[in-house]
Structure 1
Amino acid sequence: MTTRVPTGETPFRLTFGIEAVISVEVGMTNIWIKVYEEQRNHQELNNNLDLIDEVRDEEMKRMEKYKGAMARDYNKKVKVRRFNIGDLVLRKVSQATKDSSQGKLGPAWEGPYQLIHHSKEGSYYLKTLDDQELSRPWNIEHLKRYY
């Protein structure tokens, strides 16, 4: 079985405390088959089951470290954008607002719109240049500055 990147272990080992021997390996001559003793095997299985909690704890630490590294890599690429009240922005055309008659060659952005206020970080209320307010806020992910 293949080890997983976040844990460094196979799911079988995390579940049962031992490495899996696949059926193809049973018929082959290898060190695991040559030194197999049933009494010793049961004793080792019991020892592995006693230590499985420690193995899982180590894997949890390793997984947290992996998640932290992934978050750092992601956050390096994120560029913080902020708009000021009164700025003009374009809004991304969504499937709901897209004109189906234009097909894929239709505009990807619509507007311009003016920012009225924001309710929380990255969420902005818009109005058209005719002073018609849009009913819901828009995420900054769907907006870009209009020059």
Structure 2
Amino acid sequence: MHISKKEVEVRYAETDQMGVVYHANYLVWMELGRTQLIEDLGFRYADMEKDGIISPVMDIEISYKKPLRYGQKAIVHTWIDHYDGLRVTYEYEIFTDEQELAVTALSKHVCVKKSNFRPISVKKLYPDWHAAYEQAKKD
């Protein structure tokens, strides 16, 4: 299984009145993690969008373990948990810069045509991408 790593500096604007990262910002960091994973595998999500294909979120699960604060770094680990040629489930662990687990999460996606939101087969439309995902979940 290939695990991608993305470091994110916690910015002041990402914190709430309690001085900890506001919960919705973790979703943004998860997107950064997915993007890094895709790039690690040799692809760019933006190229797929140029073809009129998007990958909306179908489901999100997130569990907060330890707060992150301004001035710390978040390290986002991302990998493919499930992939069937149509749908993909990414899993995440977000750590503090002291290597303490702050968040566990998963997001489920499907690739669709932007024009009509009908699902497409990644296996058929992007065979190289499909092969990379199959290999990444095995590594």
TM category (shorter chain) comes to under 0.3
Structure whose CA Rg is larger: 1
The alignment's TM-score, normalised by the length of structure 2, stands at 0.22
- Work out which structure has the larger RCO, using CA pairs closer than 8 Å and 6 or more positions apart in sequence: 2
